[in-house]
């Protein structure tokens, strides 16, 4: 038995193409990669497999077993025997006479159509399925005999031992928290799952919420904005010295603004595009859930999927395949330029100093560290079209996550920016995995795409037409000088004691950030770019409030309530878009059109955009949170929430929060943490009157959340659920 997880992938890496296609030494590894010691020696994997295979007929696994051998067929290590003009059938055949039945095209007119549609399968592949299942079932029966060694085999299947009810589901999670990586690793040992759209919607809705919070924080928090701009700067390939050790020509005096315009334009474009993509995916999954409910009585493995439901699934899959190109492109540019890996690469000096084309290669003599080589190989395979096709994007992302999870050196070589990109790609890949596991119908999706793909391509082009304008958001502007953080214009000492100097520095940084975004919005509108029907327009036109720092007041003179205009401390997310939205609404009202009906609040969203058609006069009243519950928590959790919702003062400094304490605090308020890919954790409400989940990044690599980040977490919780510091009392 193979020793390691995914032995087929290990074989793919170790053997040359000639060795694979001649006679591979790893045929078993390719045929059933889930039969390996590393996975099956975990306490529960074998039990899961025994339970699944014993309680479900073989046809439930036939297509999944075939799909598991995909890599072997793709790299030609496995070659199916050839038999023309026959089709072999598995699905919904549950007797010895019909299971794996070989049908001649001459005797059965439908047999050819069943083969081409994916309902049936080529006899050679069918023979492999039978071989796989024979060996797997013999292995499991032998395991049962060894486990029950004191019972005679004949007695096991007699009336003396009755069939027992199915036990509760087990999981390999050792931390007590759910893990997407564990779910993925257990999938081969469970029955092929039904399409869990509710779970996918939760994942994608949390990504959408995080994308909205990212756009919000870029506009509200000067420190966050400066950190993000610096991250994008540090991951551009212009930062790599050339083979002569010289910097890129773009850094010559007089050209710096060209570079900063590229950086800032990429930051804004990615923020807006992520918002659009996750909104689109959330809407599509919501529609799929409606269709799944609508056709619940018609969904049977013995029948084709209803056409409307099938088309929506294929469209979702098509959009996902296109969308993965975004994070893959970011990895291709950013990995080699990232600070932990940059020293191992050099840039070729450009023939034309004005050219934007950059060629990067590995630096000669950069050492043979196995972890780094493995990490870089995986990244290369993800962005290389041929290798990605052969290995499969789901396998590559799983292997990357496994390496980062198990190897501290790999984590140290992966920057936070790259981890964030991986997390986006991983959720898209998780959606793709769910669709591919939707057997037996997934086997037919390729044939169904034949008549629909052109329509989906046109649909994608039309849907994303308005998004293209985000790519040129900084063209022909002075945004470089307004957004360049290198001159400390965004210095934001929010983690320092409140003094006159610190407060004035914070107010200056906020004013500089407001000026930058007002110019971005002016530029977008001046170019007559249409943002109608975009998630960006929807977010920016909401009357949501950015918090701003009040003027300094000497502590001895400080009144009990803030003096002056309280509303001057609050600003709309975008004054231009809010004004445009309100003028549009007033125009609709004057035209006699009926005002839109007021919608109820979504559970778990304490602060939502006003949808009544007439903007209220008082922004603070409009965003006053609903009455919130009081959480009785222990001292450990209260300390966490006191930092997340810290009240600034001149006499105290906030501290850090350990990640384990943060997990404990969120769990104590009714959230169940679940580790996703990379450093992302999703917190799912279980005991609260809310439905939406929220995602946070585990700090990397220290394990402690600095106050700046903890403050942002607190503001995200406030925006999502209306939480504030007064809600948590000591038990």
Residue 377 has pLDDT above 50, yes or no: yes
Lowest mean pLDDT among 345-349, 627-631, 669-673: 627-631
Model confidence band, residue 689 (pLDDT cutoffs 50, 70, 90): confident
Residue 281 CA to residue 206 CA, distance in Å, equals 11
Q: Averaged over 77-83, what is the pLDDT? A: 91
pLDDT higher than threshold 60 for residue 600: no
Query: Angle at which helices 416-436 and 325-337 pack, to 10 degrees?
Result: 150
Residue 393 is predicted with a pLDDT of 92
327-336, 472-481, 491-500, 555-564: which has the minimum mean pLDDT? 555-564
pLDDT at residue 571, rounded to an integer: 65
174-228 pLDDT per residue, tens: 445 566 777 777 888 888 767 888 888 988 998 999 999 999 999 999 999 999 9
Mean per-residue pLDDT, 676-701: 81
pLDDT in tens, 551-599: 888 876 555 544 444 444 666 666 665 555 555 555 545 444 444 443 4
Is the confidence at residue 116, as pLDDT, over 90? no
Q: What is the pLDDT of residue 28?
A: 92
- H-run or E-run covering 469: none
pLDDT of residue 323: 94
Q: Are 219 and 513 in contact (CB under 8 A)?
A: yes
Q: Is the pLDDT of residue 172 over 90?
A: no
pLDDT at 524: 80
3-state class of 91 per DSSP? coil
- The answer on pLDDT for 668 being more than 70 is yes
589-610 in b/e form (b: 16+ CB < 10 A) is eeeeeeeeeeeeeeebbbbebb
Instruction: Enumerate residues 6+ apart whose C-beta is below 8 A from 465.
Output: none
Q: Do 674 and 664 touch, CB atoms closer than 8 A?
A: no
Q: What does 284-323 look like in DSSP terms, one character per residue?
A: HHHHHHHHHHHTGGG--TTSPPPHHHHHHHHHHHHHHHHH
| Radius of gyration of the CA atoms of the chain, in A | 29
What mean pLDDT comes out for the span 673-695?
Answer: 81
When the pLDDT of each residue in the chain is averaged and rounded to a whole number, the result is: 84
| Mean pLDDT lowest among 82-91, 276-285, 519-528 | 519-528
**Where exactly are the structural domains of the chain?**
7-170, 631-730
pLDDT value, residue 573: 62
As beta bridge partners, residue 76 has none
Residue 67: count other Cβ atoms within 10 Å of its Cβ.
16
Q: What is the pLDDT of residue 577?
A: 58
DSSP string, 237-289: GGGS-BTTSPPPGGGSTT-HHHHHHHHHHHHHHHHHHHHHHHHHHHHHHHHHH
CA distance 336 to 382: 14
In the chain, what percentage of residues exceed pLDDT 90?
39
pLDDT surpassing 80 at residue 373: yes
392: tokens are 């499969």
Look at 145-154, 157-166, 401-410, 595-604 and tell me which has the smallest mean pLDDT.
Answer: 595-604
Q: How far is CA 118 from CA 83, 132, 450, in A?
A: 17, 19, 13
Q: Given this model, what pLDDT does residue 558 score?
A: 53
The yes-or-no verdict on residue 703 having pLDDT over 90 is no
Note the Cα 500 to chain centre separation in Å: 42
Closest by alpha carbon to 124, among 162, 72, 181, 86? 86
pLDDT band at 99 (very low <50, low <70, confident <90, very high): very high
Per-residue pLDDT, 680: 83
CA distance 278 to 315: 15
Specify the range with the lowest mean pLDDT, choosing from 165-169, 205-209, 618-622: 618-622
Which pLDDT score, from 0 to 100, does residue 282 have? 95
More confident residue, 599 or 244: 244
pLDDT the model gives residue 419: 92
Residue 559, pLDDT score: 55
DSSP track, 527-586: TT---TT-HHHHHHTS--EEE-PPPP--GGG--SS--S-GGGGEEES-HHHHHHHHHHHH
SS (H, E, C) 20-61: HHHHCCCHHHHHCCCCEHHHHCCCCHHHHHHHHHHHCCCHHH
pLDDT for res 623: 44
Reduced DSSP (H G I as helix, E B as strand, rest coil) percent helix, strand, coil of the chain, to 5: 55, 5, 35
Residues composing the chain = 731
Average pLDDT over residues 235-242: 93
CA atoms within 13 A on the CB side of 314: 24
| Tens digits of residue pLDDT in 433-470 | 989 888 888 888 988 888 898 999 999 988 888 888 88
Task: Report the C-alpha gap between 427 and 327 in whole angstroms.
Answer: 11
Is residue 222 within 8 A of residue 490, CB to CB? The reply is yes
Q: Which pLDDT tens digit goes with each residue over 624-662?
A: 445 677 888 899 999 999 888 887 765 666 788 999 999
Helix (H) or strand (E) holding 485: none
Q: What is the pLDDT of residue 53?
A: 94
Q: Which residues pair with 360 in a beta bridge?
A: 347
Residue corresponding to tokens 């205009």? 565
Judge contact between 309 and 291, C-beta under 8 A.
yes
Judge whether 57 and 137 are in contact, CB under 8 Å: no
| Strands lying side by side in the sheet with 680-685 | 178-179, 671-675, 680-685, 694-697
Q: What is the pLDDT of residue 584?
A: 53
The torsion defined by the Cα of 136, 41, 5 and 118, in degrees rounded to 10, comes to 30
> How much is the pLDDT for 607?
40
The per-residue pLDDT for range 296-320, each reduced to its tens digit, is 998 888 788 999 999 999 999 999 9
Spacing of C-alpha 140 from chain mean position: 36
Minimal CA–CA distance to 347: which of 338, 332, 336, 339? Answer: 336
């Amino acid at each position: 038995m193979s020793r390691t997880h995914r032995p087929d992938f290990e074989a793919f890496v170790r053997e040359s193409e000639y060795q694979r296609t001649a006679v591979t030494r790893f045929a078993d590894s390719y045929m059933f990669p889930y039969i390996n010691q590393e996975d099956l020696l975990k306490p529960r994997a074998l039990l899961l497999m025994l339970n699944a295979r014993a309680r479900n007929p073989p046809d439930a696994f036939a297509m999944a077993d075939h799909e598991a051998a995909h890599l072997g067929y793709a790299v030609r290590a496995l070659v199916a025997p050839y038999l023309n003009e026959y089709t072999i059938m598995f699905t919904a055949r549950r007797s010895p006479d019909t299971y794996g039945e070989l049908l001649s095209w001459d005797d059965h007119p439908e047999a050819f159509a069943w083969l081409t549609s994916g309902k049936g399968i080529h006899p050679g592949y069918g023979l492999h399925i039978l071989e796989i299942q024979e060996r797997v079932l013999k292995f499991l029966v032998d395991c049962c005999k060894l486990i029950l060694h004191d019972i005679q085999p004949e007695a096991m299947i007699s009336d003396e031992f009755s069939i027992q009810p199915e036990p509760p589901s087990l999981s390999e999670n050792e931390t007590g928290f759910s893990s997407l990586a564990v779910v993925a690793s257990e999938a081969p040992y469970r029955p092929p799952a039904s399409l869990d759209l509710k779970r996918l919607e939760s994942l994608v809705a949390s990504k959408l919420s995080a994308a909205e919070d990212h756009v919000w924080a870029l506009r509200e928090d000067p420190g966050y904005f400066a950190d993000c701009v610096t991250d994008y700067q540090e991951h551009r390939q212009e930062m790599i010295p050339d083979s002569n050790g010289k910097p890129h020509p773009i850094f010559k005096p007089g050209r710096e603004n060209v570079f900063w315009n590229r950086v800032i334009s990429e930051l804004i474009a990615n923020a807006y595009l992520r918002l659009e993509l996750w909104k689109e995916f959330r809407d599509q999954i919501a529609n799929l859930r409606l269709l799944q409910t609508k056709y619940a009585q018609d969904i049977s493995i013995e029948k084709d999927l209803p056409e409307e439901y099938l088309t929506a699934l294929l469209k979702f899959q098509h959009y996902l395949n296109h969308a993965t190109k975004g994070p893959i492109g970011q990895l291709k540019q950013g990995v080699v330029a990232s600070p932990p890996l940059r020293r191992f690469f050099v840039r070729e000096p450009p023939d034309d100093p004005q050219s934007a084309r950059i060629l990067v290669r590995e630096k000669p003599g950069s050492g043979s560290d196995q972890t780094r080589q493995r990490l870089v190989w995986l990244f290369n395979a993800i962005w290389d079209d041929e290798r990605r096709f052969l290995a499969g994007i789901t396998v590559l992302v799983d292997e990357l996550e496994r390496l980062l999870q198990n190897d501290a050196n790999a984590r140290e070589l992966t920057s936070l920016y790259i981890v964030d990109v991986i997390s986006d790609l991983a959720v898209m890949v998780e959606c793709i995995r769910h669709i591919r596991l939707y057997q037996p119908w997934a086997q037919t999706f390729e044939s169904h795409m034949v008549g629909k793909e052109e329509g989906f391509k046109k649909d994608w082009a039309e849907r994303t037409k308005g998004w293209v304008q985000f790519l040129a958001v900084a063209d022909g502007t002075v945004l470089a000088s307004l957004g360049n953080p290198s001159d400390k214009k965004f210095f934001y000492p929010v983690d320092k004691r409140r003094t006159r100097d610190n407060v004035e520095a914070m107010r200056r940084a906020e004013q500089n950030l407001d000026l930058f975004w007002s110019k971005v919005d002016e530029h977008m509108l001046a170019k007559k770019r249409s943002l109608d029907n975009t998630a960006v327009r929807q977010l920016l036109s909401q009357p949501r409030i950015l918090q701003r720092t009040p003027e300094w007041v000497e502590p001895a003179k400080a009144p009990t309530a803030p003096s002056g205009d309280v509303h001057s401390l609050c600003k709309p997310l975008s004054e231009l878009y809010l004004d445009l939205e309100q003028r549009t609404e007033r125009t609709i009202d004057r035209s006699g059109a009926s005002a839109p009906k007021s919608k109820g609040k979504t559970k778990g969203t304490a602060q939502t955009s006003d949808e009544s058609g007439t903007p209220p006069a008082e922004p603070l009243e409009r965003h006053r949170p609903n009455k919130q519950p009081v959480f009785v928590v222990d001292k450990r959790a209260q300390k966490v929430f006191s930092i997340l919702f810290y009240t600034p003062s001149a006499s105290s400094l906030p501290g850090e929060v350990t990640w384990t304490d943060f997990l404990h605090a969120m769990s104590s308020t009714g959230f169940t943490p679940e580790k996703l890919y990379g450093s992302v954790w999703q917190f799912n409400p279980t005991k609260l009157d809310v439905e939406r989940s929220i995602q946070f990044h585990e700090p990397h690599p220290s394990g402690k959340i600095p106050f700046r980040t903890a403050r942002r977490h607190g503001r995200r919780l406030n925006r999502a659920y209306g939480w504030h510091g007064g809600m948590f009392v000591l038990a």
